[in-house]
């Protein structure tokens, strides 16, 4: 009998080993089973099993802290990283265009031509003359002279209003057939420009007529050789200068202008000593 019992016990143990161990080794004893081979592990070992798992978890955390160099808790529910491929493949921003919601600057119109010489700023309590002049215009002393286009010796237009920035301008009209005009060009126009030019005087000599007809560019160039280079020599083939100033004839007209084109003196066949005194007074004012 004992031999048979031991053989049965051996067969039972071998079957348990073949299927993965006893009930105790697979997780504990079946509460309804009987017999010595069905008993579970002692109570102490069952209670200590969770502690072993916890110790293993703590050891894993300590190892993580050593590797990461900090005490930060692991993020269990971290949001997945954004897919950056779209940003990489996106077209680069255009930095050359206008900013959003900012209107583009309108096209800028070109500024009108202005005289190269501007009137200086007015002093305290004074009103700076407009340059170019804005009117109203007239032909008497105190009025602003109207504009007029004449020609230089290269046939380029020059206007009276382009002279508005000079402190004082003296305009003298000339006719080739006029002996007194020739004398004044030689003895007055040149020397006066040399004496008063450094004080701010601008001298303008206008050829109004030739010996037998309108003034020409040739006459204009001939006059240039008789006066200093600082004198502006023009010609007026239509005699528009005398018409503008409402004078009876084209020759020997003396026009004195202050800043802004204001008429300070206007006389035909004027005494040149009188003109000189007026110019000096204005320049010294």
Q: How many CB atoms lie within 10 A of CB 48?
A: 11
* pLDDT higher than threshold 90 for residue 190: yes
Minimal CA–CA distance to 162: which of 110, 204, 207, 206? Answer: 204
Domain boundaries, the chain: 2-66, 149-284
42-85 confidence digits (pLDDT tens): 444 444 444 544 454 454 545 444 444 444 444 445 454 455 44
Gap between the Cα atoms of 185 and 224, Å rounded: 10
Q: Residue 129: its pLDDT value, please? A: 83
Q: Residue 153: its pLDDT value, please? A: 98
**Residue % of the chain over a pLDDT of 70:** 55
Beginning with the edge strand found earlier in the chain, give each strand of the sheet holding 157-159 in spatial order: 157-159, 149-152, 232-235, 201-209, 168-175, 253-258, 262-268
**178's tokens:** 């006029």
Give this prediction's pTM.
0.58
Minimal CA–CA distance to 169: which of 272, 273, 262? Answer: 262
Give the mean pLDDT of the chain: 74
Gap between the Cα atoms of 285 and 283, Å rounded: 6
Residue with tokens 């005009």: 181
Per CATH, is 149-284 categorized as 3.40.30.10? yes
Q: Residue 192: its pLDDT value, please? A: 98
Residue 267 CB contacts under 8 Å (≥ 6 apart), including other chains: 253, 254, 274, 275
Report, as an integer, the average pLDDT of 201-218.
97
* Maximum distance among all Cα pairs of the chain, rounded to whole angstroms: 175
Range list of H helices, 165-214: 179-184, 190-196
């Amino acid at each position: 009998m004992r031999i048979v019992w031991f053989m049965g016990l051996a067969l039972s143990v071998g079957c348990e080993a073949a299927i993965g161990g006893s009930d105790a080794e697979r997780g504990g004893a079946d509460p309804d089973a009987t017999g010595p081979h069905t008993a579970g592990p002692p109570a102490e070992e069952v209670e200590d099993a969770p502690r072993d798992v916890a110790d293993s978890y703590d050891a894993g955390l300590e190892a993580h802290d050593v590797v990461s160099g900090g005490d930060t808790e692991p993020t269990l529910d971290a949001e997945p990283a954004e897919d950056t491929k779209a940003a990489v493949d996106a077209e680069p921003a255009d930095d050359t265009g206008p900013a959003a919601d900012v209107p583009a600057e309108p096209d800028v119109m070109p500024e009108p031509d202005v005289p190269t010489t501007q009137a200086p700023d007015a002093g305290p309590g004074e009103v700076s003359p407009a340059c170019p002049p804005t009117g109203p215009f007239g032909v008497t002393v105190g009025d602003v002279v109207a504009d007029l286009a004449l020609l230089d010796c290269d046939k380029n237009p020059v206007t009276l209003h382009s002279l508005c920035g000079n402190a004082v301008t003296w305009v003298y009209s000339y006719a080739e057939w006029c002996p007194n005009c020739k004398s004044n060009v030689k003895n007055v126009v040149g020397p006066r420009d040399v004496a008063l030019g450094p004080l701010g005087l601008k001298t303008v000599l206008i050829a109004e007529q030739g010996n037998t007809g309108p003034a020409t560019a040739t006459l204009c160039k001939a006059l240039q050789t008789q006066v200093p280079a600082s004198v502006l020599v023009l010609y007026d083939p239509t005699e528009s200068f005398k018409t503008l100033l409402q004078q009876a004839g084209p020759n020997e007209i003396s026009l004195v202008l202050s800043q802004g084109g204001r008429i300070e003196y206007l006389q035909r066949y004027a005494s040149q000593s009188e003109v000189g005194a007026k110019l000096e007074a204005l320049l010294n004012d």
